[in-house]
A and B are shown apart, each in its own frame.
Chain A
């Protein structure tokens, strides 16, 4: 540690440039992957529509593009009104779950944290179950009572968990996790009870618990988008603070972070995003846990890079698994939550094996 400056090879300006380059490459890579998976998704389905025709239908919806297509009208309906909203729903939900999972893992400094840690999934499931067994009228294709009560249940669960864990102005991570587990257990127990006594209504509840994009529609996307974008924007603004929070909370405070306030804001935003995703597509596990973790293992732990990359990979992953969900037993549907676990689990284990570094220690 010499005080007098001895000539060093690395110029000061190189630092910032290198960091920007290190972000551009992976961003391009993951965007390319997303485009490829999206194209695959558009061209796969129960109806045999030539891939070129399917892509042309979608491109024609963009301004200034006109590709002549000779095809039955029903094909265009299938591609534009069925495949496209489903693809977008899977992408949006995948991105949202991965994004909010990354934020949760950052706040808790724990790779086992996921968006459902504070009760979003159990609360949403309970809300949805109540909507399903209640006499409230609901159509599964619009943003009706089921997603509405699911969202409310998720929000309520997180608020309750936070309220119980709070002491004074601060809230400890351990207390939060324990409160989240307790709230989840209670909500799950009530859902199980509804499931048991629900008779004929049990099947829609189970469908919600497995998650599906079969009833994706433009309406749902449009209704959900503001919440997703709002929550994601707040998280994005806090990306650098998430980096600081990777040190312990005391160091973060000494680096100028109001830890208690940042935690509330980040958890609220991440829960909003996760709750909206669950309201849109039901409880889809695994994505929010594993995608941010894999992203961190491959591309490092800088949240300003990690967050957008996790969103891109989450979208690609869920679009890809949804293609499998639609085509494995064509024309049947496999619940997408089952496919995410079947495909993602072994891949995750492989990564753990090949790259032993976890990223958090």
Chain B
């Protein structure tokens, strides 16, 4: 746990046969998934497939009905919360926070797992927080209260808080929701940059095109099961996509990179 970078052989996150029941209803049924350092893994699937539940289970917040989840080789429920928070950071989809809290205050909270009961933030902690804000472009609104931020700014602030944790594994739930195209691209470019630095990234995402463009691997989750996983080009195919989403969408290759692009299969247009 103490090593800054786990050996590549040990997956940062290793889920085996993960099964979760919430109120008697099965939400996840035997999910297998690995995330290693240096890679961005996309967790795809329609609404209600169980993506968010998997992320919560990965931080030990949901009891497992079966299977196991290990972080750096240790079962999550056997890791102290503080140790876990030093290894894993989470960006929730719509996280709550007091509207009067300043962005810099929020980001500094990311240093909490690195601080003891008696210690105050050191110059190093402030530097890490400042760097996290720099990387996410939060500096210009760092001193503003959260309630004054736009949706995109707010999301960046929470990503900055996660970065301030200096995690080896970063979990994000729909980080691109409510962002415009430019901001979405920036967000995913940041994830790629983090992966270059060695961080393992698991990102739950709706947008198949975006995932295919930026992820090293993706897994398609449907009704709590992984129905396909592997390189984007292997998973985001016409066959898989039409199985999951019906025949109203088609998959075409990106004109430059060849990565799959999912677009509506327009049958007819009023002006055609």
A and B form one complex:
yes
CB-CB < 8 A to A48: which residues of B?
none
Q: A248 vs B142: C-alpha distance in the bound complex, in angstroms?
A: 21
Is A254 within 8 A of B101, CB to CB? no
Counting CB contacts under 8 A, is B137 at the interface? yes
Q: Which bracket fits the contact residues of A?
A: 35 or more
In the complex the two chains form, what is the Cα distance from A333 to B129 in whole Å? 54
A-B contact pairs, 14 of them (CB 8 A): A3-B190, A5-B135, A8-B134, A12-B130, A13-B123, A15-B126, A244-B109, A246-B97, A246-B98, A248-B95, A253-B81, A255-B109, A357-B100, A361-B99
Task: Check if A33 is an interface residue, CB within 8 A of chain B.
Answer: no
Evaluate contact between A10 and B61: CB separation under 8 angstroms. Answer: no
B207 CB → nearest A CB, Å: 17
User: Which residues of chain A are near B56, meaning CB under 8 Å?
Assistant: 250
Nearest Cβ in chain B — how far from A16, in angstroms? 4
Q: Smallest distance from the beta carbon of A299 to chain B beta carbons, Å?
A: 11
Cβ–Cβ contact A16 & B126, under 8 A: yes
Can you list the 6 inter-chain pairs with the closest CB atoms, starting with the nearest? A256-B85, A256-B113, A12-B130, A1-B186, A256-B82, A1-B137
A residues contacting B by CB (< 8 A) are 1-3, 5, 8, 10-13, 15-16, 237-238, 240-241, 243-244, 246-248, 250-251, 253-258, 296, 300-302, 357, 359-361
Q: Are A243 and B123 in contact (CB under 8 A)?
A: no
**C-beta contact mask, B221-263 vs A, less than 8 Å → 1, else 0?**
0000000000000000000000000000000000000000000
Residues of B within 8 A of A253 (CB): 59, 61, 81
Beta-carbon contact of B96 and A247 below 8 Å: yes
* Residues in chain A near residue B59, CB distance under 8 A: 253-254
Chain A residue numbers with a CB within 8 Å of B112 are: 240-241, 244, 255-257
Which stretch of B4-12, B14-22, B114-122, B208-216 is in the interface?
B114-122
Closest to A247 in B: B97
A256-B84, A300-B100, A361-B147 known; A243 vs B109 contact (CB < 8 Å):
yes
- With a cutoff of 8 Å between Cβ atoms, the chain A residues found around residue B110 in the complex are 255
CB-nearest residue of chain A to B113 = A256
Name A300's closest neighbour in chain B (CB-CB): B100
Of the residues B81, B118, B123, B126, contact of A257 by C-beta under 8 Å:
B81
Segment of B33-41, B43-51, B86-94 in the binding face: B86-94
B29 proximal to A (CB < 8 A): no
Q: In the complex, how many angstroms separate the beta carbon of A258 from the nearest chain B beta carbon? A: 5
Task: Give the interface SS of chain B, mostly helix, strand, loop or mixed.
Answer: helix
Contact B156 A1, beta carbon cutoff 8 Å: yes
Supplied contacts A10-B139, A247-B95, 6 more A-B pairs, CB within 8 Å = A1-B190, A16-B121, A237-B117, A250-B56, A255-B109, A359-B100
Q: In the assembled complex, how far is the CB of residue A217 from the closest CB belonging to chain B, in whole angstroms?
A: 35
The answer for the CA separation of A251 and B127 in the assembled complex, in Å, is 23
Asked if B32 is at the interface (CB within 8 A of a chain A CB), the reply is no
The CA of A357 and the CA of B97, in the complex, are separated in Å by: 14
- B165 interface residue per 8 A CB criterion: yes
Q: Which B residues touch A302, using CB under 8 A?
A: 105
Q: Residue among A1, A257, A301 with the most chain B CB within 10 A?
A: A1
Nearest-Cβ distance from residue B11 to partner chain A, whole angstroms:
20
Q: Check B98–A360 contact: CB distance below 8 A.
A: yes
* Nearest CB on B from A307, distance (A): 14
- Chain B's closest residue to A249 (CB) is B61
Which positions 172-226 of chain B face chain A at CB distance < 8 Å?
183, 186-187, 189-190, 193
Known contacts A1-B137, A247-B97; decide if A255 and B165 are in contact (CB<8 Å).
yes
Is B135 a contact partner of A3 (Cβ separation < 8 A)? yes
Chain B residues near A16 (CB-CB < 8 A): 121, 123, 126
B166 at the interface (CB under 8 A from A): no
B81 touches A258 (CB 8 A): yes
Determine the distance from Cα of A5 to Cα of B190 in the docked complex, in whole angstroms. 12
B77 within 8 A of A: no
B115-153, CB < 8 A from A:
115, 117-118, 121, 123, 126-127, 129-131, 134-137, 139-140, 142, 147
Tell me, in angstroms, the Cα distance from A13 to B105 when the chains sit together.
14
Interchain CA distance A96-B130 in the complex, whole Å: 36
Chain B's nearest CB lies how many Å from the CB of A214?
40
Q: Is the CB of A15 within 8 A of B97?
A: no
Task: Give which listed residue, B92, B108, B183, contacts A251 with CB less than 8 A.
Answer: B92
For B86, B142, B183, which residue has the most chain A Cβ atoms within 10 angstroms? B142
A237 in contact with B137 (CB, 8 Å): no
Q: Which residues of B contact A246 (CB under 8 A)?
A: 97-98, 101
